[in-house]
Amino acid sequence: MYVIVVYDVDVKRVTKVHRFLRTHLHWRQNSVFEGEVTRAQLYEIKRTLEGLIDGGDSVLIYELPRENFNLHIIGADKNPAGEII
Amino acid sequence: MYVIVVYDVDVKRVTKVHRFLRTHLHWRQNSVFEGEVTRAQLYEIKRTLEGLIDGGDSVLIYELPRENFNLHIIGADKNPAGEII
């Protein structure tokens, strides 16, 4: 499956969340990550994020059956090199 | 088609972008909107956003064939009431 992850977390926890997501996904924009994952990996990502976030933090994970979308980028492409881990 | 819009814009322009997107889509989280649109509406959304944003601002529009995903929300659900315009 393919996931798009968007986080909205307190600045105190941004670095931890960002660093963790980089180990599983590729970075698309400021607070957006994407990538192909297995069901087990998705479970692990969710479990770890639950431990990392706090307070009013929120993370959305869109789970798509496959990478089946067109991406329109308006303005700056924050990750033109496609930083893939 | 169904779109997921994620914006990363300077605080000076957040209100304008947010207000505009509210007229076409429903708000999901801080800087995330979603909704069913026609091709003409998508074109209009892109054109208007191009006029609203500036500098290093960036907006991602994921265009999916249809609303075909599971959404996992970790932490706070910023929009539990499903504010739909």
Question: Would you say residue A35 lies in a domain?
Answer: yes
Question: Would you say residue B44 lies in a domain?
Answer: yes
Question: Would you say residue B72 lies in a domain?
Answer: no
Cα A6 to Cα B31: distance, rounded to the nearest angstrom? 9
**CATH number assigned to the domain comprising residue A10:** 3.30.70.240
Cα A18 to Cα A7: distance, rounded to the nearest angstrom? 9
Q: Would an 8 Å CB–CB cutoff place A67 in contact with chain B?
A: no
CB pairs under 8 A between A and B: 121
Q: Would an 8 Å CB–CB cutoff place B46 in contact with chain A?
A: yes
Global pTM? 0.90
Smallest Cα distance from B80 to chain A, Å: 12
Question: Would you say residue B15 lies in a domain?
Answer: yes
Query: pLDDT digit string (tens) for B2-53?
Result: 999 999 999 999 999 999 999 999 999 889 999 999 999 999 999 999 999 9
| Structural domain containing residue A35 | 2-64
In chain B, how many domains are there?
Answer: 1
Q: Would an 8 Å CB–CB cutoff place B4 in contact with chain A?
A: yes
